[in-house]
Structure 1
């Protein structure tokens, strides 16, 4: 059904109809002209033939009217009747002869014999008696026939110009129109035959024209589906053939353009996918039409959720701006996508995309994670502030005591002066320690240091460090050891690891209460050695555990300063342990103490070797 309906809408049917209509119009124009001319010719020939017969009949009747008779009326009627009855004509139906008194003296119509001898008042006959011949074609509604009605005067031979009577004839034109009907019927049959043959030829011609077009239409659909491998057939060198060749050339060019476009698209997709920055593209209305994976990660929404969504709403800027054009005026801004579990700051840069007319066709937004940069900047500011604060406190103390000493009465006092000098010396040493720690951290940050690693029996190494602390330990604090009897070897820089243990154990001693105990423990776990230093101090809140390895961080700042801490010990310890491919962390519970644990890679044990 669709195929049939498609044929009625096809150009093939239109071409056939046009071809038939042109032929039909031509035939009709020619037929109408031919029929009209033929009808006029047949009618004129018929009238001419009737006129010839009328002239002959008129001549015979003029002879009859010219004969002298004693009994004029009877003999004239007899002669006229003999003439008209003997007149042989298939086309003439009725002949009447009227004398100059308008009386009918003869007729060939059997039904009109009663009118013989009677006067007639017919207008045509009266004109004929006046010397005027008339010819009219009259339609008879009774029998539906067309008649040629002719009235001609009959002149006297004796007196030239004298009208002695009139001849009235009715001749049927049905023979002429019958011939015309036959000819029209033949012409109509010929027209039908010609149209039929023309329709068949039109189908063949239309197929010749439409077949290449149909193939090109099918090929266009195939091309629309992305298949450019097929070509249309070229059936000739005419315009259709040239169109087919041009179509194939266009196919090749589109294929090349499509391949180039696909290559560019893949490159762009690869670039967008592998970019560290997020990219979001919008249309002219500001609705999102493209995102890359980094952008989806930064806004924490997949493209399926933000597709065709307003950019200003997705970025949370709808409270600040109302129109997409304001983004380009903003140029860039910092967006806070942080939540309760994740801190995230994103820098968004906006660029306008213009079309060939210079009008905005969209916005390109580049998103970059600046959380680490902002964190580094914040830490830098805090570091500068902390260093300034740490240096200012001892300097202020030293200035106060030195000002007091400059007073003559104070430095001469044998009890106060030594105390002031001792405080000044302690603060100076504190500043020296702080500066040394800062220099060490600076070298570690710049990788401007070397590790002099060697193979070390770690258990003997720990015993040596703890023994050194026990020599200077206050009596109210006790250090316990939980060390394995086996020998375990590690590849370390002894001085750097001693510095780590000094920082950790010193903190444990500082924060341990009177009578407190410190536990130093070494545990082997797979290919690692875990070193744990546990105290019984005040502990560290859980929220601060990850921060205690930050520079200048103190849980209790006031107490730390009183104890002489710089706030850099654990930060240095972390850097040194990580330089040994290890890791350090803290476990603590408030009011129950803290455990600092670090791990180091274990070497293969070598029996009999002592460092």
Structure 2
């Protein structure tokens, strides 16, 4: 169905509009430049004329000012002489002339109505500035009465001797409004001429446009027939210009349709293949491996926009040029893992390849489907690491127990000195395995969401003081005999009530305090501190131990992670205490972190959400 073209959509109207618009634009540029240049020139000429007049007036008045400065008497009074000169010089657009002596006393003015101010001190700011700077002052001012623009010149006058002396100054105001009136008249003439030119251009542009659009309309009819499947029509070629060549090309179009149809079918199959995998990242290439299509998901996964990817080699985009060749992909189409970044975060992609083939078997391209397997790979790696760590942690105490049990079986049980010591070691290693398994079960319950907090309103000040007092008794027990540890308390003097699971929170504080004592040197001080913020309670425990290297600081809350594995294992640690503490604190909506300086000690921080309450809420 033929769609009716509105007049403003017609190419004839558009051509006329463009031609007229270009003419208007050109006239605007020419007019703006012409009027600006005229304005500058007229104003410059006006200013030069006034400066010439000022120079002439300065040379005329100089003798009178010299006599006034020296006090010489002549036939004519200097003030009378200056007044006569100003009267003769006024006119020609000059609205005001004033002359002052070196002390800014007004000696004459051209305004006959202002003769009463002669002999008085001038209050003109520009005259005072000219006296101070001894430089000419020129600027445009507005007449307060008529609101017309005036050109003001203040010229200092100096003596003619070798050492020039300031004798006075001349003030001249001229009517520059007449120049702007002249510019307005020129602008009006230019606008009238432009309007006539635009009207004529409309007529000429319409004639030219009709001559161009006639063959275009014929092409429109012919192309519509081609779109409907009729390729039998032939366009009339009016000349050898661009429109004539276009008509010839349209005539050749019907001959190329059969070949183009085959190419369209290949493109359709390629798009069908892409649409099949649109849930993942999809990249389609030509037979040489150059990227032709890349969807938004693939752009995000590969951290490349469409402009960066189109036309580039697929292997280059995947960064696997050194590991695989395009021929190998064409022959095997094996999946591969690719390292990439998404929004700056490293990810792992599984790249799957499939070929785009014509019915003849010719390979016209490759489709690469990208699937994010970062989480699966991370879980698999954590599973392997977990199995390895658990196996290692269990093997060490089991090996030790086996050695001691074999020694007991070989007869050591009969030795009254060795047997109790061997049994004690065996019992300690058994307890160690039981603690580690309990920790693993606790972490497993947290991971599965089965760990439930028994929340109570607890006075955190009292809880922290209780834990510090308990460990203060521990370090003074027989177990630490010969050691000189100290525990310093810096806690609040008021009660701070927080909703927590007291057993779990005491477990967290115990883990941190145990670590602080384990890694503190003999004579070291462990400091427990508590602060109250607006919406949080901050607890910190600082030791004076060996510290934690900066590279390991972010890993200490990982499961089974130890900074010094040999020393930690010797002290009985399993590497799960801080991991459990982190999970428990996060269950409470809080945060735990550490700051450390090697050789100086480590500070663990525990932040818990705190909601202040009014006393009447508890009544």
TM-score (normalised: structure 2): 0.53
1:349 alignment counterpart: 352
1:365 alignment counterpart: 368
What is the CA deviation profile of residues 455-507 of structure 1, one whole-angstrom value per residue up to 9, with x for unaligned ones?
11211121122222222124511121222223322111111111111111111
- Whether 1:588 and 2:593 are equivalent positions in the alignment is no
Contact kept? 2:290, 2:313, Cα under 8 Å: yes
- Distance 1:328-1:489 versus aligned 2 partners, 3 A rule: farther
TM-score (normalised: structure 1): 0.53
Higher Rg: 1
2:516 alignment counterpart: 508
Contact kept? 2:397, 2:429, Cα under 8 Å: yes
User: For 2:424 and 2:529, how far apart are their aligned partners in 1?
Assistant: 37
Aligned length: 358
Out of 448, 462, 465, which is 1:463 matched to? Answer: 465
User: For 1:491 and 1:328, how far apart are their aligned partners in 2?
Assistant: 64
- Distance 1:517-1:312 versus aligned 2 partners, 3 A rule: same
2:333 alignment counterpart: 330
Contact kept? 1:286, 1:324, Cα under 8 Å: no
User: For 1:446 and 1:362, how far apart are their aligned partners in 2?
Assistant: 46
Contact kept? 2:277, 2:369, Cα under 8 Å: no
Contact kept? 1:328, 1:352, Cα under 8 Å: no
2:451 alignment counterpart: 449
Contact kept? 1:283, 1:289, Cα under 8 Å: yes
- What is the 5 A alignment of 1:107-186? none
1:375 alignment counterpart: 378
1:338 deviates by: 7.5
Matched residue SS, 2:287:
coil
- Distance 1:413-1:447 versus aligned 2 partners, 3 A rule: same
Out of 294, 297, 305, which is 2:308 matched to? Answer: 305
What is the CA deviation profile of residues 397-428 of structure 1, one whole-angstrom value per residue up to 9, with x for unaligned ones?
111111111233x2222222111111111111
1:608 deviates by: 8.7
Matched residue SS, 1:513:
coil
1:291 deviates by: 2.0
1:399 alignment counterpart: 402
Contact kept? 2:333, 2:354, Cα under 8 Å: no
1:314 deviates by: 2.0
- Whether 1:555 and 2:563 are equivalent positions in the alignment is yes
- Distance 1:320-1:571 versus aligned 2 partners, 3 A rule: closer
User: For 1:589 and 1:452, how far apart are their aligned partners in 2?
Assistant: 36
Contact kept? 1:332, 1:349, Cα under 8 Å: yes
User: For 1:393 and 1:588, how far apart are their aligned partners in 2?
Assistant: 30
1:363 deviates by: 1.8
Matched residue SS, 1:472:
helix
Unaligned runs of 5+ in 1: 4-210, 226-260
1:224 deviates by: 11
What is the CA deviation profile of residues 150-187 of structure 1, one whole-angstrom value per residue up to 9, with x for unaligned ones?
xxxxxxxxxxxxxxxxxxxxxxxxxxxxxxxxxxxxxx
User: For 1:519 and 1:222, how far apart are their aligned partners in 2?
Assistant: 88
- Distance 1:598-1:222 versus aligned 2 partners, 3 A rule: farther
Using the TM superposition, name which of 481-490 and 427-436 deviates more.
Answer: 481-490
1:540 alignment counterpart: 548
User: For 1:466 and 1:429, how far apart are their aligned partners in 2?
Assistant: 25
- Distance 1:510-1:569 versus aligned 2 partners, 3 A rule: same
2:244 alignment counterpart: none
1:321 deviates by: 4.0
Matched residue SS, 2:426:
helix
What is the CA deviation profile of residues 414-455 of structure 1, one whole-angstrom value per residue up to 9, with x for unaligned ones?
222111111111111101101111111111111122111111
1:440 alignment counterpart: 442
1:415 alignment counterpart: 417
Task: Give the superposed CA RMSD.
Answer: 3.5
Contact kept? 2:559, 2:579, Cα under 8 Å: yes
Matched residue SS, 1:533:
strand
Unaligned runs of 5+ in 2: 1-11, 13-212, 228-266, 477-482
